[in-house]
Amino acid sequence: MSSNISTVLNGYKQKLSNLIKDKNTSSFTFDIDHNINNSNMFKLLPDTLNQALLQQIDTSTPRDVIQIPKAQPWILLLHHLIPTDLTDLFYMYFGQQKLRDQLLIQYVADFTAALKISIWLIQARNFKKWEKSLNITSKKKKQYRRNNKRNSKNSSNITRSITDNTNSRGRYSAYYYNKSLLY
């Protein structure tokens, strides 16, 4: 999995460099590659990542807390958050807010999609292997659902609250970023 992520990170590091060189509106163009290469945004540190994953599996840590290693801010993209490491690069090289925001959102959307695809394929494959190892079939899943239905009153309330929540959030973008938000 780390080789797939490493490939995506290196590819999007190069895309960011090309994007800044092609469309920057700043006079600071001499250190583009240096700033991008020194950013933690595109570094993959497997030991740090494994430690964060082990903390999530550990039963002593609360389940609702997500441990995101600060040395790898690209993980925030998977949670629909834009890291300050990335916004700082855009603020440094794009002075016009409209252009900066447009390029940032497009870049983040593409980057996030590529990360999810590289991670999702492996997770889906591992999930299927796990199901096969336990001899779980689609027929068994259907039987389980049929035999373990929820009470209709509870499920209608749950459905209604999910629908209300979805409608109220419909006007917001999927990505949230704030230069002063530290993780």
User: What predicted TM-score, i.e. pTM, was given to this entire model?
Assistant: 0.60
Q: 14 falls in which pLDDT band (50, 70, 90)?
A: very high
The predicted model gives 75-80 an average pLDDT of 82
pLDDT in tens, 104-140: 999 999 999 998 888 877 778 888 888 889 888 888 8
Distance CA 77, CA 8 (A): 13
- How much is the pLDDT for 69? 57
DSSP β-bridge partners for residue 81? 176
Tokens representing 167 are 């409608």
Give the separation between CA 18 and CA 49, rounded to whole angstroms. 28
- Taking only the tens place, the pLDDT of each residue in 45-64 is 766 555 555 555 555 555 55
